[in-house]
């Protein structure tokens, strides 16, 4: 049995530093992995955007995929993306350089958003489950939302439903990554819908509703989709963490296990893993 990996904690220091930097280098492949979810999320965002004009905030916007999709609804929509990582904000700015209705702000959103308020709509693709204090974070976002304004965000459901994490960890270390004992910022921090609902409630959001979405997490594609997936998982996610924390002599076995599980998920020129998310909607009281 190999060493157990670190828990999936991904805190602010990680995003400001190495994790954010890797996501900035890998934005095309992270966008690709989320594409099956984005179609659902972007539809929910379009439905929530007021028709006459909307000021929209994208929380934890990363490389800007959701902000850009939202700004593409038209010039009646103005989007401000907020992210901790300077590297990701730089990429987002480059991608949206030709979009006058899209801008980006670096720093912790709970401290920066107030200066740009009020917003009619707050959106996020997997950017809200990394607050050290989630109630304070969600409350700060609500305080920057106009009365009656809406929030639409996505987050992962349980790790066991997300093969890109659980199957990979099991293939490499023989068991899924251990769940933290309590709240810990990370990809699965909002997996429990009852817990997330209580956070939203404590932060003052009302009418919270969640919808389950299953999607294919595209890990690799192309002529050698397996090599693409192995390379991607070697940089982002649980396998990357395990590889980084493992002694050099153990890495070939990890890469072999990774290649085997990716091959098992290859269909023609794509490697897809099961993934499961929530799309939440909520409202700031009038
Ligand atoms: C899983 S990534 C998602 C990025 C992007 N929304 C996407 O879908 O590609 C989470 C993002 O949230 C950002 N983030 C986490 N905590 C934050 C905070 N307190 N303020 C601003 N951004 C934050 C991270 O820097 C990271 O870019």
Predicted pLDDT at 8: 53
Are residues 274 and 249 in contact, defined by beta-carbon separation less than 8 angstroms? Answer: no
Which of 10, 91, 130 most suits a substitution to test ligand 1, by most atoms within 8 Å of the C-beta? 130
Q: What is the pLDDT of residues 86-124, one digit of tens each?
A: 999 999 999 999 999 999 999 999 999 999 999 999 999
Write out residues with Cβ below 6 Å of ligand 1.
12, 15, 20, 23, 30, 34, 60-63, 65-66, 82-85, 88, 108-110, 125-127, 130-131
Predicted pLDDT at 6: 39
Predicted pLDDT at 181: 79
> Over the chain, what is the mean pLDDT?
94
Strand partners, 156: 277
Residue-wise DSSP of 132-179: SSHHHHHHHHHHTEEEEEEEEEEEE--GGG-HHHHHHHHHHHSSPPPP
CA–centroid distance, 15 to ligand 1, in Å, is: 7
pLDDT at position 182 over 90: no
Q: What is the pLDDT of residues 137-151, one digit of tens each?
A: 999 999 999 999 999
* Residue 247 covered by a domain: yes
Please state the rounded mean pLDDT for residues 263-268.
97
* Residue 4 covered by a domain: no
Are residues 128 and 137 in contact, defined by beta-carbon separation less than 8 angstroms? Answer: yes
The token pair at 268 is 């023609």
* Residue 148 covered by a domain: yes
Share of the chain above pLDDT 70, in %: 97
Q: Which of 141, 143, 156 is nearest to 274 (CA)?
A: 156
**Distance separating alpha carbons of residues 200 and 263, to the nearest angstrom:** 40
**Dihedral sign of CA atoms 133, 134, 136, 137 in order:** positive
The token pair at 177 is 């990554």
Strand partners, 277: 156, 213
CA–centroid distance, 127 to ligand 1, in Å, is: 4
Are residues 92 and 81 in contact, defined by beta-carbon separation less than 8 angstroms? Answer: yes
* Residue 156 covered by a domain: yes
Ligand 1 closest atom vs CA 30: 9
The token pair at 136 is 């304070």
CA–centroid distance, 27 to ligand 1, in Å, is: 12
Please state the rounded mean pLDDT for residues 122-145.
97
Residue bearing the CA closest to ligand 1, atom 8:
125
* Residue 3 covered by a domain: no
Phi and psi at residue 22, in whole multiples of 5°? Answer: -65, -40
Predicted pLDDT at 135: 98
CA–centroid distance, 236 to ligand 1, in Å, is: 14
Are residues 237 and 162 in contact, defined by beta-carbon separation less than 8 angstroms? Answer: no
Q: Which helix (H) or strand (E) holds 267?
A: strand 266-267
pLDDT at position 272 over 50: yes
Q: What is the pLDDT of residues 50-59, one digit of tens each?
A: 888 899 999 9
Range of the domain at 178: 12-283
In this structure, the number of other CB atoms found within 10 A of the CB of residue 221 comes to 18
CA–centroid distance, 1 to ligand 1, in Å, is: 33
Q: What is the pLDDT of residues 183-238, one digit of tens each?
A: 999 999 999 999 999 999 999 999 999 999 999 999 999 999 999 999 999 999 88
Tell me how many domains the chain contains: 1
* Residue 59 covered by a domain: yes
Q: Which of 154-168, 204-218, 232-246 has the lowest mean pLDDT?
A: 232-246
Predicted pLDDT at 19: 92
Ligand 1 closest atom vs CA 109: 20
Return the CATH number at 26: 3.40.50.150
Interacting residues of 246 by C-beta distance below 8 A, sequence separation 6+: 2, 3, 254
pLDDT at position 256 over 90: yes
**Distance separating alpha carbons of residues 280 and 284, to the nearest angstrom:** 13
Predicted pLDDT at 238: 86
* Residue 5 covered by a domain: no
Predicted pLDDT at 47: 96
Q: Is 233 exposed, middle or buried (0-12, 13-18, 19+ CB in 10 A)?
A: buried
Q: Which of 278, 279, 282, 61 is nearest to 191 (CA)?
A: 278
Predicted pLDDT at 51: 86
Which of 9, 10, 11, 15 most suits a substitution to test ligand 1, by most atoms within 8 Å of the C-beta? 15
Predicted pLDDT at 9: 66
* Residue 263 covered by a domain: yes
Predicted pLDDT at 4: 39
Q: What is the pLDDT of residues 7-17, one digit of tens each?
A: 456 788 889 98
**Distance separating alpha carbons of residues 74 and 69, to the nearest angstrom:** 10
CA–centroid distance, 25 to ligand 1, in Å, is: 15
């Amino acid at each position: 049995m190999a060493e157990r990996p670190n828990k999936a904690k991904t805190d602010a220091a990680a995003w400001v530093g190495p994790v954010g930097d890797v996501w900035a280098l890998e934005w095309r492949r992270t966008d690709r992995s989320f594409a099956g979810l984005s179609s659902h999320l972007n539809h929910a965002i379009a439905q929530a955007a007021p028709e006459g004009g909307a000021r929209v905030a994208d929380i934890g916007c990363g490389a800007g995929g959701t902000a850009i999709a939202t700004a593409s609804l038209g010039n009646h929509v103005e989007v401000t993306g907020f992210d901790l990582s300077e590297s990701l904000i730089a990429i987002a700015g480059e991608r949206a350089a030709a979009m006058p209705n899209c801008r980006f702000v670096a720093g912790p959103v709970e401290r920066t958003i107030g200066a740009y308020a009020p917003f009619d709509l707050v959106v996020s693709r997997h950017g809200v489950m990394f607050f050290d204090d989630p109630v304070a974070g969600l409350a700060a976002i609500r305080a920057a939302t106009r009365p009656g304004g809406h929030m639409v965000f996505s987050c992962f459901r349980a790790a066991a439903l997300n093969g890109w994490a659980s199957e990979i960890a099991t293939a490499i270390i023989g068991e899924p990554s251990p769940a933290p004992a309590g709240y810990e910022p990370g990809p699965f921090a909002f997996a429990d819908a009852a817990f997330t609902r209580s956070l939203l409630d404590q932060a003052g959001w009302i009418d919270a509703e969640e919808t389950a979405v299953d999607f294919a997490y595209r890990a690799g594609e192309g002529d050698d989709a397996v090599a693409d997936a192995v390379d991607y998982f070697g940089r982002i996610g649980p396998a990357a963490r395990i590889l980084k924390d493992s002694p050099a002599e153990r890495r070939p076995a990890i890469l072999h296990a990774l290649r085997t599980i990716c091959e098992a998920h290859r269909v023609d020129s794509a490697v897809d893993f099961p993934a499961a998310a929530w799309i939440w909607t909520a409202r700031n009281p009038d």
